[in-house]
Structure 1
Amino acid sequence: MTSISRREWVKGMALVTLGSVAFYDLSAQTKPILPTSWKPIEWTKDQDQLLSDWVGIIIPESTIPGAVSLGVPSFVKTMLDDCYEPTAQDAFRKVLNGFRTSLETYVKKPWTQANQAEKEQFLFAMAHGNLGADAQNAMSTLKGLTIQGYTSSEEIMVKYYHYVMAPGFFNGCAPVKKS
């Protein structure tokens, strides 16, 4: 049996560690990050505006900023694109595309003439399943994402939840009190 010095052992362990890191890094580069079936959702201008209106009805502007001014529609689009399966995305898109016509048949007015209360009542009916299961699922998805995006925005977290990124500040010049 041969003996090994500490220096040779440390050198060998360092080489093994660096080799495994390099191998892992090289093997990770050959694998695709995204599945081949993934495609981002293409949003038209009309759908963007409709989604903004929809989110603005859920959390409207008041003395505090509303969901639209805090950028929640872009959060909703990103979450739908990145975190939901294509079947759920298609169902949401189908409900979104039929939203204006459904509202117009529900309140018997064009979209531009319906007031805020009528739009809220329509969304309430969607959430309770009066307009079908797809509309109810789309509404629950939208409400959840809107609330998540709104409450996790910087404006709300800092000003209203008093969130501090790193609590417990360091003051190096504070006098030391002797007891």
Structure 2
Amino acid sequence: MNRREAIQRTALALGYAISAPALAGVLNGCKAQPELPFQPVFFSVPEAATVAEMAEIILPKTSTPGAKDAGVPGFIDSMLKEVYKPQAQQKFLADLKAFDDDAEKSYGERFVDLDPEQQLAHFKRHHDAALASAGTGGSTGWWNAGKGGDKPFVLVVKELTLLGFFTSQPGATEVLQYKQVPGPYHGCVPLKEVGKAWAT
């Protein structure tokens, strides 16, 4: 798997540059590995469950693997423990708690205890607010990840989810086109014949 190309594809999917900690983690060898069951080393079990559900909303299982199948929650857990600085770790945990507290305030239950439709609605509301905040440079609302151009929390989760997924074996081989040994070079091929994007 060419990590640099995976990073480029993630940045294109997100529409902006990938943050330095995420970039450093992937270039230093962090990649998602399918894990069943997922045993967190950075998160508490309830925090890990919330992150796993958020990741699955971003990349649900369809005819191709979802975020959980690709080991994305474990990837996020490892990235935060091994790559992120203590201040960024604490900020992520504080924002995760605020996200979960807001679910309880809005629906009367923690995020993981909501039904799938409520989880999706809650995530979408905060995702839309994060996009609006990021797009305007605003700093209002709990979802803003901090000062100095930090990404809003939900977009950090989205970034890590996509990065983990497209650097995992299922993401690279089942969702993207993948050939371990490249075939012949075709310099000019109509886009409609290309099909899925290439992993490498």
- What is the TM-score of this pair, normalised by structure 2? 0.55
Contact 1:95–1:134, Cα closer than 8 Å, also in 2: yes
Q: Secondary structure at the match of 1:133?
A: coil
The alignment status of 1:140 with 2:155, answered yes or no, reads yes
> Over residues 90-144 of structure 1, what are the superposed CA-to-partner deviations in whole Å (9 max), with x where a residue is unaligned?
1001111232211232x43424244243133233245234434228632222111
Structure 2: 5+ residue runs without aligned partners? 1-40, 134-140, 185-200
Question: Larger relative contact order (C-alpha < 8 A, sep ≥ 6)?
Answer: 2
Return the offset for 1:146: 0.4
Equivalent position amino acid for 1:133 in 2: N
Task: Give the counterpart of 1:131 among 118, 142, 147.
Answer: 142
Contact 1:103–1:122, Cα closer than 8 Å, also in 2: no
How has the CA–CA distance of structure 1 residues 42 and 166 changed in structure 2, closer, same or farther, with 3 Å as cutoff?
same
The alignment status of 1:51 with 2:51, answered yes or no, reads yes
Structure 1: 5+ residue runs without aligned partners? 1-40, 170-179
Contact 1:55–1:146, Cα closer than 8 Å, also in 2: yes
Return the offset for 1:60: 1.5
Which one has the bigger helix percentage?
A: 1
Q: How far apart, CA to CA, are the structure 2 residues paired with 1:166 and 1:79? A: 29
Equivalent position amino acid for 1:140 in 2: L
RMSD over equivalenced CA pairs, Å:
2.4
Q: What is residue 82 of structure 1 aligned with on the other side? A: 82
Bigger radius of gyration among the two? 1
Written as runs of structure 1 = structure 2, the 5 A alignment for 1:1-179 is 42-105=42-105, 107-110=106-109, 111=111, 112-114=113-115, 115=117, 116-128=119-131, 129=133, 130-134=141-145, 137-168=152-183
Q: Secondary structure at the match of 1:65?
A: coil
Contact 1:125–1:131, Cα closer than 8 Å, also in 2: no
How has the CA–CA distance of structure 1 residues 117 and 50 changed in structure 2, closer, same or farther, with 3 Å as cutoff?
closer
Identity %, equivalent residues: 23
Q: How many residues align?
A: 128
> Over residues 128-166 of structure 1, what are the superposed CA-to-partner deviations in whole Å (9 max), with x where a residue is unaligned?
344342286322221111001111211121223221223
Return the offset for 1:168: 4.6
Equivalent position amino acid for 1:52 in 2: A
How has the CA–CA distance of structure 1 residues 73 and 132 changed in structure 2, closer, same or farther, with 3 Å as cutoff?
closer
Equivalent position amino acid for 1:127 in 2: A
Q: How far apart, CA to CA, are the structure 2 residues paired with 1:68 and 1:126? A: 25
Q: Secondary structure at the match of 2:63?
A: coil
Tell me which moved more, 65-74 or 124-133.
124-133
